Amino acid sequence: MAEPKYQRWLTPEGLQLLEGWARDGLSQEQIARKCGCCRKTLVTWVEQHPQIAAALKKGREVVDYEVENAFLKRALGYQYTETRVESGKEEKTVQTQKHMPPDVRAAEFWLSRRRPDRWGSRAQETSSTEDSGCVILPEVKDDA
Q: What is the pLDDT of residue 135?
A: 54
How far, in Å, CA of 101 to CA of 39, rounded? 43
What is the C-alpha separation between 67 and 74, in angstroms, rounded?
10
Per-residue pLDDT tens, the chain, 144 aa: give them: 556 788 999 999 999 999 999 999 899 999 999 999 999 999 999 999 999 999 999 999 988 888 899 999 999 999 999 999 988 888 899 999 999 999 999 999 888 988 889 887 754 555 555 555 555 555 656 654
The pLDDT value given to residue 36:
94
Alpha-carbon distance of 23 to 31, in angstroms, equals 11
CB atoms within 10 A of CB 59: 23
What is the rounded distance in angstroms from the CA atom of residue 14 to the CA atom of residue 121? 46
Distance in angstroms (rounded) separating the CA atoms of residues 71 and 113: 13
Predicted local confidence at residue 67, as pLDDT: 86
pLDDT of residue 74: 94
Nearest Cα neighbor of 106 from 98, 118, 114 is 114
Task: Report the predicted TM-score, pTM, of the whole model to 2 decimal places.
Answer: 0.52
Cα 120 to chain centroid distance, Å, stands at: 20
* Model pLDDT, residue 87: 87
The whole-number pLDDT of residue 143 equals: 58
Helix ranges, the chain (H) = 6-9, 12-23, 28-35, 39-48, 50-76, 104-114, 116-119, 121-132
Burial of 93 (0-12, 13-18, 19+ CB in 10 A): exposed
